[in-house]
Amino acid sequence: MRAEYLEGPTVSRANILIVDDDQSIREFLEILLEKEGYHVCSAGSGEEAIQSMRKEDISLVITDVRMPGIDGVTLLKRIKASHPDIPVILITAFASMDSAVAAMKEGAWDYITKPFQIKEIREVVAKALEKRPKPLSLDRDPVNKVYRLGDMLSKSPSMLKIFQLVPRIASSPSSVLISGESGTGKELMARSIHHLGVRRDRPFVIVNCAGIPETLLESEMFGHSKGAFTGANHRKPGLFAMADQGTIFLDEIGELPMALQAKLLRVVQEKSFIPLGGTEEVKVDVRIITATNRDLEKEVMAGRFREDLYYRLDVIHIHMPPLRERPEDIPILVQYFLDRYSRDQNKDVQGISSYAMEVLQRYPFPGNVRELENIIERGVALSTSNLLLPESLSLAKFKEQKTSGIDLSCFEPRLGPEGIDLDRFLGRIEKKLLSMALERTNGIKTEAAHLLGLNFRSFRYRLAKYDL
**Predicted confidence (pLDDT) per residue in 100-146, tens digit:** 566 666 778 887 877 778 888 888 898 888 766 554 433 333 455 78
Determine contact, residues 92/67, Cβ cutoff 8 Å. no
Q: What is the pLDDT of residue 132?
A: 65
Angle between helices 330-344 and 368-382 (to 10 degrees): 50
Verify that 175 and 90 share a domain, yes or no: no
Residues 380 and 416 in one domain: no
Residue 304: burial class (beta carbons within 10 Å; 0-12, 13-18, 19+): middle
Q: Are 319 and 361 in contact (CB under 8 A)?
A: no
Q: Which pLDDT does position 240 carry in this prediction?
A: 92
Residue 153 counted as domain residue: no
Structural domain boundaries enclosing 377: 324-403
Q: Which of 319, 343, 377 is the last residue of a domain?
A: 319
Do residues 92 and 53 both lie within one domain?
Answer: yes
Q: What is the chain's length? A: 468
Q: What is the pLDDT of residue 235?
A: 77
Contact between residue 452 and residue 405 where contact means Cβ atoms under 8 Å apart: no
Residue 242 maps to a domain: yes
Q: Which of 355, 354, 352 is nearest to 333 (CA)?
A: 352
Contact 304, 129 (CB under 8 A): no
Task: State the maximum Cα–Cα separation within the chain, in Å, rounded to a whole number.
Answer: 91
Q: Are residues 259 and 187 in the same domain?
A: yes
Chain CA centroid to CA 349, Å = 28
Domain boundary among 354, 385, 403: 403
Q: Is residue 259 part of a domain?
A: yes
Determine if the pTM surpasses 0.85: no
In this structure, the answer to whether residues 306 and 278 fall within a common structural domain is: yes
Question: Residue 11: which residues within 8 A CB-CB, separation 6 or more?
Answer: 36, 37, 38, 126, 129
Give the span between the Cα atoms of 349 and 342, in whole angstroms: 6
Query: Are 176 and 89 part of one and the same domain?
Result: no
**Residue 107 backbone phi and psi in degrees, to 5:** 110, 10
Q: Which 8-state DSSP code applies to residue 385?
A: S
- Do 185 and 83 sit in the same domain of this protein? no
Among the listed residues 325, 320, 378, the one whose alpha carbon sits nearest the alpha carbon of residue 347: 378
CA 25 to chain centroid, in Å, comes to 36
Query: Is 459 in contact with 452 (CB distance < 8 Å)?
Result: yes
Structural domains counted in the chain: 4
Angle (CA) 200 322 431, round 5°:
160
- Residue 42: in which H helix or E strand, if any? strand 39-43
Q: Which regions of the chain are under pLDDT 50?
A: 1-12, 135-142, 396-404, 408-410
In this prediction, residue 139 carries a pLDDT of 34
Same domain, 254 and 383: no
Phi (first) and psi of residue 89, to 5 degrees = -110, 125
187 within a domain of the structure (yes/no)? yes
176 and 256 in a common domain: yes
Res 164: pLDDT: 86
